[in-house]
Amino acid sequence: MLTEKQHQLLTFLIEHQAEHDISPSFDEMRLAVGLASKSGIHRLISGLEERGYIRKLANRARAIEILRHPGAATKPESNIIRPDFGTEQSGSGTIELPLLGRIAAGTPIEALSDPTSYLAVPDTLVSGGEHFALEIVGDSMINAGIHEGDTVIIKRTDQANSGDIVVALVEEHEATLKTLRREPGRIGLEAANPNYETRYFEADQVRIQGRLTGLVRRY
């Protein structure tokens, strides 16, 4: 599933290559999708490559190979979480939380809202406030004990302290689970895996959507 911006960029790449027989420049891509910086294009390209839609050719400038088209049935999804947060008790020491899809602990991918899906969790994992659940994709938080396939319990909040593990929305279109690092003039999103670098953003590029409060693992 592609985010709206990823879908928009992939369509532009396909059309540009069909017309010019060469990949567009980063500036052309940035203007085509309406982003202010090239760093946003880098993230979109990484997301498309991760999903198998494109491949960057090594040691060649402006060389992107299209591996597959989005298809007529593929609709870009919004990743901004706007669920109807449920807290209905099941009567057996559990509580049902909205399961809003998948979130990356790696290269950011979309967090998909699915208000028809719910997850029953022990009520001891939830204490006060609104909560939701997300399934983890990727391994960048593995040293924090968060593995691919785990389900994390998130308390809805837009406030978090440096060192908290949070759901962060980057530039209003990509969500990721990372450790928050607040530094003068910038915000860092830190992985718990040495294979991933800490990524830094301007403060207005990152919006906190929730804070990790629990984890569910199936064996």
Q: Which positions are annotated as active-site residues?
A: 140, 178
Sign of CA dihedral 207, 103, 215, 128: positive
CB atoms within 10 A of CB 121: 21
Q: How far is C-alpha 182 from the geometric centre of its chain's CA atoms?
A: 20
* Residues 105 and 137: beta-carbon distance below 8 Å: yes
Separation of alpha carbons 164 and 80, rounded Å: 20
Separation of alpha carbons 109 and 117, rounded Å: 20
Three-state DSSP at 163 gives coil
